[in-house]
Amino acid sequence: MALDHNAINLSQGYPDFECPERLRALVAKHLYDGKNQYPPMAGIPLLRQEIANKVKRHYQFDADAETEITVTSGATEAIFDAAQASVGQGDEVIVFDPAYDSYEPAISLAGARAVHLSLELPDYHIDWNRVEDAITEKTRLVIINTPNNPCGSLLDRNDMDELATLIRDRDILVLSDEVYEHMVYDGQRHESVLRHPELSQKCFAIFSFGKTYHATGWKIAYCISSKSLTEEFRKVHQFVTFTTSSFVQYGIAEFMSECPEHAEELPLFYEKKRDTFCELVSDSRFTFAPSRGTYFQLLDYSEISDKPDTEFANELTREKGVAAIPLAPFYEQPPDTRILRFCFCKDDSTLEQAAEILRSL
């Protein structure tokens, strides 16, 4: 619709600026240096070792590069592989709405059933008492997403402790979607599942190079899990994509070694963009709380219209020229709210043009 109506696209989650110049140069170097044949199924050893170095530096977690790290063709593939590796016919998987839209198809294709629990408004937190009530003998997996897409909320150490307590001594695993790990603001810490001694042994932790390096079209990510879980994960990965573009892996591995500061500087980079966008729309009729993570900002349009979010989003795109995403598709049973998700991983000039329109509503 954004293309059809020549609208400013703040809907889909991808930057309108380039990935780092040095990273592009390294990828191009390996493209022309003959790195164009099948790499190892689990990912090239150099990249897996750089990943191990990174999670040790950021999360104090010791991952075995050979047996616990798998490079995948995007985080969506990793999510699918983890679901297929851990649940089957008749099993139940707890997911939290609003939820990324690939979770339920991956669960359903495994023959399992998604049990939807809504995050609690207005700050989108998890009610762990409701989670305890939802766990049954059929529960085999809990999917968490922090920072959360679409709402930008975070899980903290207390949340991880609550989850660990609930699944302790139960045959339940965790799929932790952490693709926005480096987009956490206001001095807060990303609470990776890898930081937790118990959960790190019962999890599939999924991360995205595409998000971190502003290169979503490269579709490259990775999963960290225990040796036994990785063995099951790779049985699926081998027959879904088998492996991932070789020259891109080599380029990223070299960039990680040369430029570790990129990931470390990312929170402030995107926090500045969040603050720019929020300041630009601060005198509009939208209401909001600044996003705590991701590169998405929720705006409440209750003072502008009482139309349902999908209808209002369509109208905003067609008639006003700004595309955003409604929250209804992220829910099994959408709440009666008037909220849209806007993507701020854009050039400042793009945000300024969009905000001028939004302020006029």
Helix (H, G, I), strand (E, B) or coil at 130: helix
Whether the CB-CB separation of 98 and 150 falls below 8 Å is answered with: yes
Q: Is residue 3 part of a domain?
A: no
**194 and 138 share one domain:** yes
Global confidence as pTM: 0.96
Angle at 292 between CA 221 and CA 195, to 5 degrees: 55
SS3 content of the chain, % helix, strand, coil (to 5): 40, 15, 40
CATH number, domain of 303, equals 3.90.1150.10
Same domain, 313 and 218: no
Q: Could you give the angle at the alpha carbon of 244 between the alpha carbons of 239 and 249, nearest 5°?
A: 155
Residue 182, domain CATH: 3.40.640.10
For residue 150, the cross-strand partners are none
What is the pLDDT at residue 77? 98
- Picking from 240, 258, 276, the residue at the C-terminal end of a domain is 258
Residue 108 lies in a domain: yes
Residues 84 and 112 in one domain: yes
Confirm whether 283 is domain-assigned: yes
Q: Do 231 and 250 fall into the same domain?
A: yes
Same-domain pairing of 13 and 58: no
The position carrying tokens 């969040």 is 274
Give pLDDT, residue 12: 87
Domain stops at, among 235, 258, 281: 258
Residues 172 and 131 in one domain: yes
pLDDT of residue 130: 98
State whether 113 and 182 are in the same domain.
Answer: yes
Q: Are residues 13 and 28 in the same domain?
A: no
Do β-strands 113-118 and 139-145 pair in parallel, antiparallel, or remain unpaired?
Answer: unpaired
Each residue of 160-169: b (16+ CB within 10 Å) or e? Answer: bebbbebbee
Question: At which of 236, 258, 280 does a domain end?
Answer: 258
At residue 131, the pLDDT reads: 98
pLDDT given at position 356 = 97
Domain tally for the chain?
2
Asked whether residue 314 is domain-assigned, the answer is: yes
What whole-number distance in Å separates Cα of residue 142 and Cα of residue 132?
Answer: 11
Q: Which pLDDT tens digits describe the chain residue by residue (361 residues)?
A: 998 999 999 998 889 999 999 999 999 999 999 999 999 999 999 999 999 999 999 999 999 999 999 999 999 999 999 999 999 999 999 999 999 999 999 999 999 999 999 999 999 999 999 999 999 999 999 999 999 999 999 999 999 999 999 999 999 999 999 999 999 999 999 999 999 999 999 999 999 999 999 999 999 999 999 999 999 999 999 999 999 999 999 999 999 999 999 999 999 999 999 999 999 999 999 999 999 999 999 999 999 999 999 999 999 999 999 999 999 999 999 999 999 999 999 999 999 999 999 999 9
Q: Is residue 66 domain-shared with residue 95, that is, in the same domain?
A: yes
- 206 and 271: one domain? no
Tell me if 339 is assigned to some domain: yes
Burial class (CB in 10 A: 0-12, 13-18, 19+), 316: buried
Q: Per-residue DSSP letters for 34-47?
A: T--S---TT--HHH
Task: Report yes or no: 224 and 78 within 8 Å, Cβ to Cβ.
Answer: no
Domain shared by 78 and 138, yes or no: yes
Indicate whether 2 belongs to any domain. Answer: no
Domain assignment present for 1: no
CB 56 within 8 A of CB 220: no
Return the pLDDT at 348.
96
* Structural domain boundaries, residue 328: 8-18+262-359
Does residue 212 belong to any structural domain of this protein?
yes
- H or E element, residue 116: strand 113-118
Say yes or no: 83 and 227 in one domain. Answer: yes
